[in-house]
Amino acid sequence: MDPSLAQLSLLALPGLPEVRSGDDLCGAIAAGLRAAGQTLRDGDVVVLAQKIVSKAEGRMVSLAEVDPSDRARELARQSGKDPRLVELVLRESNAVLRCRPGVIVVEHRLGFVMANAGIDQSNVEQEGDGVALLLPLDPDASCDGLRATLRAATGADVAVLIIDSHGRAWRQGTVGVAIGASGMPALLDLRGRPDRHGRPLFVTEVGLADEVAAAASLLMGQAGEGRPVILVRGVPGVPGTGRARDLIRPRATDLFR
């Protein structure tokens, strides 16, 4: 192919089974690759939905085992949410930033500002009095482990992203964002590079991992599509180094908190 032509390709791996606690994600990815007639190549990006990682890591909590605190009960009255879910939100958060009917915006313990601490019950098999799914304990570390396992199994030097859907201030709708990254720059610093007219860029930093996450999220879908792993080819800067935590704006430059 003409090297002057830029091309990005995305493929949803077919036939992945329902993931349960302790399942081998690398094995599931390998089966999906075989079903798609694909093999991993250096520079590929394997994008996983947060839910399958959380399920495999056993991050499900039975609501019957949750005893809400007084603070959780008060926020539940304000938000209209189940007090037990609110208690889990508090346990997963550093601070509550906003609360209104239907949503509690928090600073998650990982540093992300997000609704309801990323705790969800959709696409989670419910049993008993209800089950909630929490984010992985350390998504960047989860990506490191998956990347190493995939490289050992295939020999390919790939990047791995774990993505979730987040809302955005001042804009309607959710988009896919990276909450875990390994093997690629999450934040691509273009400062100092010349534009087409030779003028150096002064402030341009690209949320590369979030851009890939948003593209992959289009194929994953948000309901019952059953496409939790996306193979992406053609992403610049892969392989490389970076963490999803690189995308969190430091408080010193946060104009809104």
The reply to whether 18 falls in a domain is yes
The contacts of residue 34 (CB under 8 Å, 6+ apart) are: none
The reply to whether 4 falls in a domain is no
The reply to whether 231 falls in a domain is yes
CB 146 within 8 A of CB 138: no
The reply to whether 256 falls in a domain is no
Kindly report, residue by residue over 23-69, the tens digit of the pLDDT. 999 999 999 999 999 999 999 999 999 999 999 999 999 999 999 99
The reply to whether 2 falls in a domain is no
DSSP codes joined into one string, 89-149: HHHTEEEEEEEETTEEEEEETTS-EEEGGG-B-TTS---TT-EEEPPPS-HHHHHHHHHHH
Q: Residues 149, 242: one domain?
A: yes
Q: Residues 163, 112: one domain?
A: no
Domain containing residue 81? 60-133
Q: Residues 207, 89: one domain?
A: no
Smallest Cα–Cα separation from 177: which of 162, 160, 158? 162
Q: Residues 154, 242: one domain?
A: yes
Kindly report, residue by residue over 142-166, the tens digit of the pLDDT. 999 999 999 999 999 999 999 999 9
CATH of the domain at 152: 3.30.1330.100
